Amino acid sequence: MIKINYYNEIKETLVKNEIYKKVKDYSKNKSDLNAYFEVGRLIVEAQGGEKRAKYGNKLIKEYSEKLTKELGKGYTERNLRNMRSFYIKFKKWHAVRAELTWTHYRLLLPLKDLKMVEYYMNIAVLQNLSYRELYERIKSKEYERIGFKEELEEPKVSTLIKNPIMIKVKDKNERLTEYALHRSILENMDDFLKELGIGFLYAGSEVKIKIGDNYHYIDFLLFNYKFNCFVVVELKVTEFKAEYIGQITKYINYVDKNIKELFNDKTVGVVICKKENRFVMEYCSDDKIFTTTYKVV
């Protein structure tokens, strides 16, 4: 039986990675991920498998001291433990997205829910999130606020809207009026669109429409390119009321008849309220209308 010198294998992998990064800088990120994944695998094997790996920190300390002495900084015990966790969590190699950096993956390692990890990986790639931006998304518990289930229904705009959503204001202790809330969103429109969900674009504010003999104003008119539909957004600083359904339904119908094109899907409505009324939501029969609450930050 051939005895493997795991330390030499790990050292050789890391040395090759350092050389590769200097020669082919354009793909050094992929090289890092490959190398750290392989090091994680070797550490797990050296410790006798996954079940025993978490108890093998003495071996990691030994490896860390030798690697630091021979290769320099960057191979602390913590980093080697991260590489071990990286292999264990992503051992199905196709699950690793090379578009993300090692710093992105270090944020994902503590997350235990694999569905949550998959969500943050996909959103980071789709929206080209930096390490700091991904950190803020995880910190704000975005995944939990969207409320994903094991099996989702056919995707709709409403399935991607978080609950609650975070709205930036100058003074979160100030009592907000609808006008003040509206102005705060306008001043931070990019943040609002990102917070609202995936694929939202700004189309207009206080959009004037005429229904019968009366003029009305839509708080915000958005467009979602992912679902090819307009989105009517109404702001309320009170708890949800049944009458809001009637109001936004009129606006939805107006946009469907007068603004949207034949190739656009049906308009969706979003009511943003101070506090969610679960009974009204549960028994609201119109699946084109979605309600969410807001939290000021």
**For 106-147, how does the pLDDT look when each residue is reduced to its tens digit (9 = 90+)?**
999 999 888 889 889 888 888 888 889 899 889 888 888 776
What pLDDT shows up at residue 3? 55
Pairing of strands 229-235, 165-167: unpaired
Give 234's pLDDT tier (boundaries 50, 70, 90): very high
Q: Which residue has the higher pLDDT, 193 or 287?
A: 193
Tokens of 293: 């609450």
Torsion of CA 149, 153, 159, 164, to 10 degrees: -40
Where is 145: in which H helix or E strand?
helix 142-146
What pLDDT shows up at residue 221? 95
Pairing of strands 214-224, 229-235: antiparallel
**What's this model's pTM, rounded to 2 decimal places?**
0.57
**3-class DSSP state of 210:** strand
| Stretch 209-236: mean pLDDT | 91
Tokens of 288: 């084109």
Greatest alpha-carbon pair distance for the chain in Å reads: 90
Q: Which residue has the higher pLDDT, 87 or 159?
A: 87
Q: Which residue has the higher pLDDT, 239 or 288?
A: 239
Neighbours of 112 (CB within 10 A): 8
Distances (CA, A) of 134 to 86, 96, 174, 224, 260: 18, 16, 29, 22, 34
- Whether the pLDDT of residue 79 is over 50: the answer is yes
Owner of token pair 């990102």: 194
Edge-to-edge, what's the strand order for the sheet holding 214-224?
Answer: 165-167, 289-296, 268-273, 229-235, 214-224, 200-211
What pLDDT shows up at residue 166? 83
- Whether the pLDDT of residue 82 is over 90: the answer is yes
Tokens of 107: 């944020």
Neighbours of 73 (CB within 10 A): 8
Where is 211: in which H helix or E strand?
strand 200-211
Q: What angle do CA 114, 115, 119 make, to 5 degrees?
A: 115
What pLDDT shows up at residue 126? 81
- Whether the pLDDT of residue 20 is over 80: the answer is no
Mean residue pLDDT of the chain comes to 82
CATH numbers and ranges of domains, the chain: 1-96 (no CATH), 97-139 (no CATH), 157-296 (3.40.1350.10)
Within 8 A by CB and 6+ apart from 15, the residues are 71
Neighbours of 294 (CB within 10 A): 24
What pLDDT shows up at residue 276? 58
Q: Is the peptide bond before 164 cis (omega within 30 degrees of 0)?
A: yes
- Whether the pLDDT of residue 280 is over 80: the answer is no
| Contact status, residue 162 vs residue 142, Cβ threshold 8 Å | yes
Neighbours of 284 (CB within 10 A): 18
| Stretch 16-38: mean pLDDT | 73
Instruction: State percent of the chain over pLDDT 90.
Output: 27
Distance CA 128, CA 297 (A): 24
- Whether the pLDDT of residue 45 is over 80: the answer is yes
| Stretch 68-82: mean pLDDT | 89
Distance CA 142, CA 175 (A): 25
Owner of token pair 């969500």: 119
Residue 255 — φ and ψ, nearest 5°? -65, -40
Q: Which residue has the higher pLDDT, 27 or 258?
A: 258
Amino acid at 283: Y
